[in-house]
Amino acid sequence: MPGTFSQLNGHEQVVFGHDEASGLRCIIAIHSTVLGPALGGTRMYPYDSEEDALVDVLRLSRGMTYKSAVTGLDLGGGKAVIIGDPATDKTEALLRAYGRMIESLNGRYVTACDVGTYSADMGIIGRETRWATGSEVVEGGSGDSGVMTALGTYVGIKACAERVFDDASMAGRHVAIQGVGKVGRRLAEHLAEEGCKLTVADVNEDATADLADRLGADVVAVEDIHAVDADVFSPNAMGAVINDATIPRLQCRIVAGAANNQLADARHGQVLADAGVLYAPDYVINAGGVIQVGDELHPDGYSADRVRARVERIGERLAAVFVTAEREGLPTAEAADHVAEERMAAVGRLRSFHLPR
């Protein structure tokens, strides 16, 4: 594996963890703690190599820094990956070993759910560390963060519709949803309730069949969902789905979904803009989950009402990004970066004032 610092992309700390007895192999990437402890989920996935895992965790952790900043949270950005198949390799021993690895970082990194991990897993990890959020309510956590991620994505799609169509209503609109797991399924339910036409795709045929039966959704192949003639293409699975191969096939006016790192390359934001497609920067629209689990760290304790109020403001934050993009002549993804960087620079400098603890 290359050992150059150029891979780290400004990260403060990257920790490789291994526990032979449990089979744990993990990487924890702390991108920034300028605004607060680095919060980010733990992804468990059977990566082909440690190099692939490192590339993924570095990209994801950087995105968390910008997500927390643009959302107005006093949190930094981090992410972790556990190399392994969650269906066959996940055990109590592995999760508890991972929890001890997190605890050794003394609160610099706070974890939560991500692909391949669930609220029940956070409860097990939390037996070994104070810094696990999003466990089940019975365990003292806030529960499944996918609920708020889906709500925020729905609110964000309506903000995009307001921008493009001068009408936030989704009644009669057509949305093509890629991925109907923890978030995509709930997003489909929100949209269907408003009278939206749905086309869905997922590798899990049972999941798409369920939505076809309950919501009347059309089902297409995963490889064709981005090419559906719809008002909105909503990626809610893995990243890099907006790329040189898929962009020419898009037939939508809006790309807005909860998947992380939707743009395969930064330049694709400009390509979308040139094609007249409005892109909702992923880390702005999908911030509902981090708002929820981040609230568990609030000095006054968790508040479901406060979380919902903040998630419902995601549309306002997207609208502000769109205004910045238009004013500065930037693609929306770059405009979102500017908004986040301005807050990190303005608020982060206050850390130079020493406060006694």
- 184 annotated ligand-binding residue: yes
Q: Which residues are catalytic?
A: 79
- 307 annotated ligand-binding residue: no
* Contact in structure between 56 and 102 (CB atoms under 8 Å): no
Calpha distance 221→102 (Å, rounded): 39
Beta strand ranges found along 95-196 (DSSP E): 109-110, 174-178
- 57 annotated ligand-binding residue: no
Calpha distance 210→206 (Å, rounded): 6
Biggest CA-to-CA distance, the chain: 59
Calpha distance 17→27 (Å, rounded): 6
What's the one-letter identity of residue 302? Y
- 183 annotated ligand-binding residue: yes
- What is the distance, to the nearest Å, from the Cα of residue 332 to the centroid of all Cα atoms in its chain? 17
Calpha distance 344→337 (Å, rounded): 10
- 158 annotated ligand-binding residue: no
- 179 annotated ligand-binding residue: yes
- Please return the burial class of 138, using the count of CB atoms within 10 Å of its CB with bins 0-12, 13-18 and 19+: exposed
**Would you give the DSSP letter of residue 6?**
G
| Residue ranges at the known binding site for NAD(+) | 179-184
